[in-house]
Amino acid sequence: MMTTKHCEALGCHDTATGFSTLCNRHKQTMRRHGHPLQTGITAHELRPYLARIKARQERNKGSELWSILEARWKALEGHGKSIMEAVMGGAAHIRHERLAAQQIGILAGSVPADKAIQTALAMYLMADERPTRFQSDKAFRFELVRRMRGLSEVNAASYWDHKAGKMRKVYRDTPPDAMETLGRWIAEAFGAAGLTLAGKEREEAQLKATERQRLADALERLE
């Protein structure tokens, strides 16, 4: 007698389907976001972190960091091109690497390098300050890819929402294994810089908090 399995996603009471431990809804979420409980990071959510990255870049215009990161973006573009050239030449290839390379080509061809770099760094800043917003490291990489793909209009299809009375955009999903590959490539290019900048933001916030406390203590001691 077959036993009904319940979805293993926390809080879900739906039935798991097939050989999966998840229901259809959470399987779809897993495919799109890298974790059954992960929700998408919106452009609105990322905006304040993006503004802080831009402000730091403005304060450090002469830093070599930005040219190094741009070179890394170019190297990533070159890596994608080399894969696609080999594929076009008939070489054997791994499908998810080809799809990831195609996505790099789309981004590089339609998004300015500084915008891509700022978005990646902002995601690391957000993850550092709001770690519970991401269900896992894999979920973070998926959201990193999704936010960067969202920079390109090429990845979007439009439709008329009759209920809302306006046009809406829908971004075409990329297979999970290609998302994982692309997320790993982007993390290798910008992860170290993102984590370091997040640490600097933490240090500055702590210094400001300490200064405010010293001021408050000094005011308390006034007679």
- Please write the tens of the pLDDT for every residue from 112-133: 999 999 999 999 999 999 999 9
Query: Which of 56-65, 98-107, 169-178 shows the lowest mean pLDDT across its residues?
Result: 169-178
The per-residue pLDDT for 82 is 95
The per-residue pLDDT for 172 is 72
Are the CB atoms for 83 and 97 separated by under 8 Å?
Answer: yes
Question: For the chain, first and last CA: distance in Å?
Answer: 82
Please state whether the predicted TM-score (pTM) of the whole model is above 0.95. no
Phi first, then psi, for residue 154 (nearest 5°) are -65, -30
Q: Which residue has the tokens 């998840």?
A: 22
Flag whether pLDDT at 37 surpasses 70.
Answer: yes
pLDDT-derived band at 1 (thresholds 50, 70, 90) equals very low
Flag whether pLDDT at 145 surpasses 50.
Answer: yes
The per-residue pLDDT for 17 is 87
- CA-CA distance, 70 to 137, in Å (whole number)? 24
pLDDT-derived band at 161 (thresholds 50, 70, 90) equals low
- CA-CA distance, 185 to 165, in Å (whole number)? 39
Q: H-type helices in the chain, by residue range? A: 24-33, 43-59, 65-88, 95-110, 113-129, 137-149, 176-221
The per-residue pLDDT for 117 is 97
Flag whether pLDDT at 179 surpasses 90.
Answer: yes
Flag whether pLDDT at 193 surpasses 60.
Answer: yes
Flag whether pLDDT at 134 surpasses 60.
Answer: yes
